[in-house]
A = this chain, B = another copy of it.
Amino acid sequence: MRVPFNKLQAEFKRVLLSLNFEEWKAELCATTFAANSADGVYTHGLNRFPTFVEFVKEGLVKPGASPTKENAFGALEQWNGNLGAGILNARFCMARAVELARECGIGCVALRNTNHWMRAGAYGWQAAEAGVIGICFTNTIANLPPWGGIDPRLGNNPIVIAIPRAAGHLVLDMALSQYAVGKLVQYKNNNEELPLPGGYNSKGELSTDAAEILQSKRLLPVGFWKGSGLSMMLDLLAALLSRGNPTARITQSEKEFAVSQVFICIKPPDVKYTDQLIEEVISYTKSSRPGHDSGSVLYPGENALKTREKSFREGVLVDEQIWGQVLRM
């Protein structure tokens, strides 16, 4: 079922206003939730909205909170999210990093005591829209075993790199687990096999069986030992630079809140230079012969843009049950 973007956005806004979000905050949050679904990231658009509402009702996300500056040194700033909505805090800090990059060439904003920002890529698109390179990452609750271990101690800490381009921004948005938990649940429910190994079964063998992996809780980090190390370093960077919680502390509370994030922006060369170089790289990369008949080589963000165009043309794809739930809120 498809729903017009404006309808989706309006319903989110109505619910957020009823939860005592100010007008502009409700508007911005609602637009981001709707845009996440419109770009095809349904897990962090409509599908995540009911959980977000629950977190607000439980007092874990505070509608009245705004970020406050705690430290600043040149182009490096540290902000406290005061447990406000993750989307609003992240939008604010990425906007601040954009300003710093415009002033200083590069800027870094670290944010503590914030909440789940939903779709990581949203803030990459934001930076690229503003004409700068954007890099951001967040820590999360522990959901990955470190390499060599079996108990989850690392977050899947999504990282984003975005580069502005007139013909469509390049936005890489990757979590450090090979498959998200939500994706594994989807494969399990559909009784489908994963196309590539996604974790270990309880016998310690690589597996393409989502049910087995969900049971063992041994999701695979991207690149095995490499993603494991990268996850630890991103967690440390986020917690150090923001003086906020590392995954270790977030996990103790069992609910994923009060996370730490980093937003870095860099001023790119002028638009003409940037666009020409990007075209050269995309066209070279796409000159690789496809591996399968149906295969094609895509640049990061290419699919999101196609899905977005279709969503605006034909309406945003929604899960009817969750959509019904939101309409009744």
Contacts and interface: CB of A to CB of B under 8 A. Distances in A.
Interface in A130-166: 133, 145-154, 161, 163
Contact of A151 (B224, B278, B289, B292): B289
A289 B200 CA distance: 15
B288 A145 contact: yes
A241 B266 contact: yes
Contacts of A286: 146, 149
Nearest to A154: B285
Interface stretch (A6-14, A16-24, A70-78): A70-78
Given A237-B163, A239-B277, A277-B236, A288 B151 contact: yes
A105 B217 CA distance: 39
A204 interface: yes
B281 A248 contact: yes
Contact of A74 (B104, B148, B229, B295): B104
A186 B277 CA distance: 36
A264 interface: yes
A174 B281 contact: no
B161 A237 contact: yes
Given A151-B288, A223-B222, A76 B106 contact: yes
A239 B196 CA distance: 32
B295 A149 contact: yes
Interface string A266-301: 111100011001101100111111111001111110
Copies in the complex: 2
A288 B236 CA distance: 17
A246 B170 contact: no
A267 B285 CA distance: 36
A105 to B, nearest CB: 3
A299 B232 contact: yes
A40 interface: no
Interface residues on A, range: 35 or more
B264 A241 contact: no
A148 B233 contact: no
B229 A300 contact: yes
A223 B174 contact: yes
A57 interface: no
Given A105-B76, A240-B269, A297-B146, A222 B232 contact: no
Contact of A147 (B204, B287, B297): B297
Q: Most chain-B CB neighbours within 10 Å: which of A104, A200, A206, A292?
A: A104
A172 interface: yes
B149 A289 contact: yes
Interface of A: 72-77, 103-108, 133, 145-154, 161, 163, 170, 172, 174, 176, 178, 196-197, 200, 204, 206, 218, 222-224, 226-227, 229-230, 232-237, 239-241, 243, 246-249, 264, 266-269, 273-274, 277-278, 280-281, 284-292, 295-300
Given A76-B104, A170-B232, 6 more contacts: A75-B104, A151-B287, A163-B233, A178-B226, A240-B273, A248-B284
